[in-house]
Amino acid sequence: MTQMKSPNQPREIHVLGLSGGRDSASLAVWMRQNRPEIDIKYFFTDTGKELKEVYDYLGELEGFIGKPIERLNADRDFDFWLKQYGHFLPSPRTRWCTRKLKIEPFEHWLKPELEAGTIVHSYVAIRADEPDRSGMIATHPNMKVHFPLREAGLDKAAVIELLDSSGLGLPAYYRWRSRSGCTFCFYQQKIEWVRLMREHPDAFEEAKSYEKSALEHGSPFTWTQKESLDELARPERVAQIEKDYDLRVARRKAKQLANPLRARLSEIDIDEVYGVPEAASGCLTCHK
């Protein structure tokens, strides 16, 4: 029976952030299939530096959920903030990009609702096999955070199966890269930089030009540890990175028990080969 709402009860809204990644997409699918009565506002915070595949996948997702995904843009773009930060590239230790281009636009979007006393239910894609992840912390007493995938017991294999059975499948970039987010995200492994160079040479060149300007402005940091992208792109270095990756995959495969019932799980992804960078594992906004 539907309960009548008293006129004094606060307004409630439901929001679900999509990163263009696997887990948030599977959460949207799960909510559509299991909680269709909830009127969810879907959103995507756009840094303006995302992969083309992310935009394509969001389009497919809109078709599946039958609703538009609101694009939230920061008032100022990456180039503006880069200048403000003295051309120092963002890094795991000074991750100004996530705050300025992902978190603040989200907070700005919700501010009028929270100030008006609205209860905001936020749905976050933490899986059942991620017990150590606490997820987005509610920063306002009217914000209620929910973890439906975890509560429903869905692990990594289950979210992949869910996306497969919905017909959406995985975002196309999973073929060569482990997570969503900016083309030049510093959480990329070296093999992913090599692949970015092949898949999106223009984006690789853009990343190189940001790095050059950072070095010219006195920043000691490059996108990837201990070498510039110019150095990484040298043919002999590329061959070395690819050889190292192939070796790690072979070692990992040798250890892994084949599981014919969960064939997709037996595919090795980049995070399994190198481990998830600790700070990236905490970044729900960009990479979920």
Measured CA to CA, the distance from residue 25 to residue 19 in angstroms comes to 8
Residue of 95, 127, 177, 190 that binds ligand SF4 (CB under 6 A): 95
Choices 3-11, 95-103, 211-219, 235-243 (CB under 6 A): range interacting with ligand SF4:
95-103
- Residue 236 CB, shortest distance to ligand SF4, in Å, is 28
Residue position matching structure tokens 């009028």: 112
CB atoms within 10 A of CB 187: 21
If one asks whether residue 98 binds ligand SF4 (CB under 6 A), the answer comes out as yes
Q: What is the x/- site pattern for ligand SF4, positions 167-186, by CB under 6 A?
A: --------------xx--x-
Q: What is the x/- site pattern for ligand SF4, positions 44-83, by CB under 6 A?
A: ---x------------------------------------
If one asks whether residue 90 binds ligand SF4 (CB under 6 A), the answer comes out as yes
Handedness of CA 174, 179, 180, 181 (dihedral sign): negative
Q: Helix 22-34 crosses helix 156-166 at what angle (to 10 degrees)?
A: 70
Find, among 228, 233, 169, 225, the residue nearest to 195 by Cα: 233
Choices 55-63, 66-74, 93-101, 166-174 (CB under 6 A): range interacting with ligand SF4:
93-101
Handedness of CA 182, 186, 189, 191 (dihedral sign): positive
If one asks whether residue 136 binds ligand SF4 (CB under 6 A), the answer comes out as no
The 8 Å CB, 24+ separation contacts for 206-211 are 207/183, 208/233, 210/82, 210/89, 210/184, 211/89
> Binding residues for ligand SF4, how many (CB under 6 A)?
13
If one asks whether residue 20 binds ligand SF4 (CB under 6 A), the answer comes out as no
* Chain positions contacting ligand SF4, by CB under 6 A: 47, 90, 95, 97-98, 101-102, 181-182, 185, 187, 283, 286
